[in-house]
Amino acid sequence: MGIIHEVTRRRASEAEREVREFYPDATVSFEVVGERGIITACQDRFVLSKEFVESEESLRDPRLLREYARVLMAKARLVVVVPRQEAASFRMRMMELNNWWLCYYQIHYYDHGGLIRRLDRKTWRKLMSLPPDADDFDIMVA
């Protein structure tokens, strides 16, 4: 079993817990196609959440942003999980969706051991070797 399958399985378990908190009857399924995992949460025939576990190879597909935009325009939750070494640059790429007012997504990253972490602004700044935001610095000094 490869890293993509392992991360997809782990993230599907987390997604099921998160989605069922609000939609107890939801079903969560996942599949790994090549070097990409896809997790879908549905209730009845409606997609509630779509998640993608990307590899370095799958991130090269120029159609990804359009696919992500379709998920967001359908009013479903979008979560993308990328390799740690791609996380900082991928966040910058995803900012293009913000130009279309499609900014309700989450980015997570995974390491070589399959550990999944959420990529927030503070973590992104650290990965980019940028200093902490002024607000973060105030908290650190106090």
Tell me the C-alpha distance between 54 and 82, whole Å: 5
Q: Quick check: 20 and 27 in contact, CB under 8 A?
A: no
CA dihedral for 21, 76, 117, 97, sign (positive or negative): negative
Tell me the C-alpha distance between 17 and 20, whole Å: 5
Q: Say which residues have a Cβ less than 8 Å from residue 124's Cβ, sequence separation at least 6.
A: 87, 88, 91
Q: What is the value of pTM for the model shown?
A: 0.86
Unique residue bearing structure tokens 């990529």: 119
Domain boundaries, the chain: 3-141
Q: pLDDT truncated to tens, each residue of the chain (142 aa)? A: 699 999 999 999 999 999 999 999 999 999 999 999 999 999 998 999 999 999 999 999 999 999 999 999 999 999 999 999 999 899 989 988 877 777 789 999 999 999 999 998 777 777 766 677 766 555 555 4
